Structure 1
Amino acid sequence: MQTKPFRQTRWRLALWYAVVMGFILSLCGFGVYEVMIYAHLVAIDRELKSVAGTLHDSIEPNLKQSGRLELIFHQLLPDICSAKSSCPTQTVYRQGYHTSTKRHILSAIYQGNYYYIRFVDGAGQLIALAGFQPEGLPLAVGQKVWQTLKDQQGDRYHQMSLPLHTQDNRLWGYIQVGRSLKDLDSRLAALKLILGLGLPITVLLVGGSSWWLAGLAMQPINQSYQQMKQFTADAAHELRTPVAAIQAAVESVLRMSYLSESEARDTLKNVVSQNHRLAEMIEDLLLLSRLEEQKILTPQVTCCLNDLVSDLVEEFADMAFAAKVILTSEVRVRKSLYVVGDENQLYRLVSNLITNAIKYTPAGGQITVVLDRSNSHALIEVRDTGIGIAPEEQTRIFERFYRVNSDRSRSSGGAGLGLAIASAIIQAHHGSLQVQSELGKGSTFTIQLPSISK
């Protein structure tokens, strides 16, 4: 569960990501729109240049008198209509000449209501026209070669104008070849609609994805934060107990009018005991922190596990006897097993497991420390016939301050750091620590370390 600051941060991350992606997608959409316009206009310009150039080059050498239609006009443009005569409607004409113009090199101008050809004199008066006949389209005679015009319906046309000269180099007039942009405008309108609807929907999808990704990215941070909060609460709770005991002992002494030597000694012993508990807990926390941050370099020293197990069983024999449990060792290898690491840390690793086994094994139980080999690894097993660990708790027992049974742990003086330290030590030695347990039957902790031959 995320706290309010994490939710706010998640919202900000998702919003910024959506805004940035929306801006990028808008730029891409605008780029696609402009590229589409440019590509179509280039294609249209190329077509107009081809048609206008062909007509210009074919007609101009045959012009003898300004403003007069020569025979070449009718040969190239069978449907040409003089402005002084009444022209047939475009629909009837296209039906009559559509098949005959297919064989003509300029037949492209008759394919749909796209192209028109107009011949204008130097004064701007219409001489003749051919092809599609747009209504209300201005003649717009001038120095510009390329023009974009609109007819009465608001449809756009792209037009190219070229001057025509007679054989004696006098200005005959102009040829205007134009093409309707209605198909282009339709495509652009459809593209605008797609972009107008698609971009907001895409941004919403990106926003939802951003929210999910932000949560996914912040999950490890949130887990670390929750672990830090839990650690702070647990550490404060553990430190409060001995501090409260010391404070209570000192206050009780201060309230007494007379303090005998034996009472003073008992009070001081209690204070020393609680102080020792505090010092031990702080030392464990520092060790654990340094191990997890890898601030403690593991010395590359050869350690004999046979001697390590033998020394530990001998050292904890008195503790096991006091707890009325049987502590034994079982060495299953003939030759000594050696590993590389810090002998003191390995000693602490196994001793923590033995200590826990003694604490949680009832009187009359048995604890066995087994030394064995598996391929290129050394195995140390600490088996007990104690209370066992529930399956749902086995994954959490290596967390700091976690206890399977808090009351039992406190009564035995533990702070819940032993297994966390053991896990950190095993990781520093590139090994593994596994647990197998069943309630009421006991637990087995298995240490696996890379072994070396000697």
Structure 2
Amino acid sequence: MNQNKLFNRTRSQLAISYAAVMGLILSLLGFCVYKAIAHAHWVAIDRELQSVAGTLHDSLELKLQQPGRLEPTVNELLPNLRLIGANGIKEPLPNRPILSTINQGYYYIRLFDYSGKLVATAGAYPEGLPPEFQPKQWQKITDSQGNVYHQITVSLHPQTQKKWGYFQLGRSLQDFNSYLSRVKLVLKLGLPTALIFVWFSSWWLAGLAMKPIYSSYRQIQQFTADAAHELRTPLAASQSTVESALLMPELNEKEAREILRTVDRQNRRLTQLVADLLLLARMDSQVRSDRPQLCCLNDLVNDLVEELAALAKSSEVALTSEIRVQQPLNVVGDADRLYRLVTNLIVNAIQYTPAGGKVTAVLDCTHQEAIIQVQDTGIGIPAADLARIFDRFYRVNSDRSRHTGGSGLGLAIAQAIVTAHRGSLSARSEVGFGSTFVLRLPF
């Protein structure tokens, strides 16, 4: 197959198609995985912010008294609390944090009064955040260095039930973005690597898929060549006979009859060859009998031995039958095709058995199948040829002479009929001692 450009090109196209489809699928899968991971982490961050903000919000409302004023007890709750003076300078207060979550390094807190003025900051407050108050509950803001933060805003109501101001809790997204960057890197490196493996796998799988097609293609090529050879011989003989007759100035009745007999013989040979090819085509297309029937193998074997006795006698071969069962053996199938099958086996055995030899048709059975054996004492088949004797137009030693008759389709037809009846046909042979063909048909 590697030497055939058509199949190599087709194999490459299949491999490219497989790789392209798999690449698209893997890309979509990678994109969906990335989006799922990002969404899951984003939801986790939102829940984390809501949880921490809710805890701090409830604690702060218990400690606040007057709107816009921070009580000293607030410092016990928030780490790194810094008040924003009138001049905008942050005034640090003694630090005694009690909430460990804020101490993780990526949380910050901002407190605004009712008018939106920044009152204090706490936690890991980054420099460069815009000081303007935005009333949206969820925000994504960026500092002067380009770092991104996710922020939640909630309102504060002290125990006096007056609106104190606003509480903002923000979280750095640096670790989140770093994690997503690693995921992207893994996907970017993993996708080309996966595509390389997919390409080699696709090339290998395309080769496996093309093997039976290539085998069928070679069989068709061989079949076409053999069929052309078989058809050419009788056509050439007929053509030469007709041309010879046309060159004769006149023909008497005897010469004309001889020419007609020659043409008739070649036409019969062509007709038989075409009929055999049509039968094989129908068998390949799984065309079966519309009304399967019971076929008695006892009668079939006995009838064939009786009908082919004249052929065996003319070849000086003893043809006998051996029925090893007492009851009739019936199988479901096409009686005409089974008749053709056993006929081919017995005729082949007679043709390849020299004068004085013997051919025996044996009928036997097991619990599940009927067995017909055709045994001969003929020339035998070399072991190297046993595997190919059922190929179409195949003859042992590529013998194309006509002294054995036939076109090389008999055993191929027999194998096709056996396959249609879900049976099996095998052969064993020893050169110089004869051959045995074993036909097995399920009841």
Q: What's the TM-score once normalised by structure 2's chain length?
A: 0.88
Q: Give the structure 2 partner of residue 48 of structure 1.
A: 49
Q: Mapping of 1:33-432 within 5 angstroms?
A: 33-60=34-61, 62-77=63-78, 79-84=80-85, 101=97, 104=98, 106-111=99-104, 113-121=105-113, 125-164=117-156, 172-297=164-289, 300-407=292-399, 410-432=402-424
Q: For 1:401, what is the secondary structure of its paired residue?
A: coil
Show CA shifts across 1:200-243 (max 9, x none). 21122223222333333343333333322322222111111101
Show CA shifts across 1:373-432 (max 9, x none). 333433221111222223333232222212223326533221111111212222333432
2:102, 2:123 within 8 Å by CA — same for their partners in 1? yes
Query: 1:322/1:43 Cα in 2 relative to 1: closer, same or farther (>3 Å)?
Result: same
Query: 1:408/1:313 Cα in 2 relative to 1: closer, same or farther (>3 Å)?
Result: farther
1:403, 1:409 within 8 Å by CA — same for their partners in 2? no
State which drifts further: 352-361 or 157-166: 157-166
The residue identity in structure 2 corresponding to 1:222 is: Y
1:122, 1:172 within 8 Å by CA — same for their partners in 2? yes
Q: Whole-Å Cα distance in 2 between the matches of residues 332 and 324 of structure 1?
A: 26
The residue identity in structure 1 corresponding to 2:207 is: G
Q: Whole-Å Cα distance in 2 between the matches of residues 61 and 298 of structure 1?
A: 93
Q: For 1:214, what is the secondary structure of its paired residue?
A: helix
Q: Whole-Å Cα distance in 2 between the matches of residues 121 and 378 of structure 1?
A: 101
Q: Whole-Å Cα distance in 2 between the matches of residues 347 and 166 of structure 1?
A: 106
RMSD: 2.9
Flag structure 2 segments of 5+ consecutive residues without an equivalent.
none
1:325, 1:362 within 8 Å by CA — same for their partners in 2? yes
The residue identity in structure 2 corresponding to 1:185 is: N
Identity of aligned residues (%): 57
2:63, 2:74 within 8 Å by CA — same for their partners in 1? no
Q: Give, in angstroms, the shift of residue 170 of structure 1.
A: 6.5
The residue identity in structure 2 corresponding to 1:110 is: N
Query: 1:383/1:142 Cα in 2 relative to 1: closer, same or farther (>3 Å)?
Result: same
Q: For 1:447, what is the secondary structure of its paired residue?
A: strand
Q: For 1:405, what is the secondary structure of its paired residue?
A: helix
Query: 1:303/1:133 Cα in 2 relative to 1: closer, same or farther (>3 Å)?
Result: closer
1:386, 1:440 within 8 Å by CA — same for their partners in 2? yes
Q: Give the structure 1 partner of residue 18 of structure 2.
A: 17
Q: Give, in angstroms, the shift of residue 294 of structure 1.
A: 3.6
Flag structure 1 segments of 5+ consecutive residues without an equivalent.
none
Query: 1:41/1:313 Cα in 2 relative to 1: closer, same or farther (>3 Å)?
Result: closer
Query: 1:146/1:300 Cα in 2 relative to 1: closer, same or farther (>3 Å)?
Result: closer
Q: Whole-Å Cα distance in 2 between the matches of residues 341 and 164 of structure 1?
A: 92
The number of residues matched between the two structures is 439
Q: Give the structure 1 partner of residue 8 of structure 2.
A: 7
Q: Give, in angstroms, the shift of residue 119 of structure 1.
A: 2.2
Show CA shifts across 1:115-140 (max 9, x none). 11122346665432221132222224
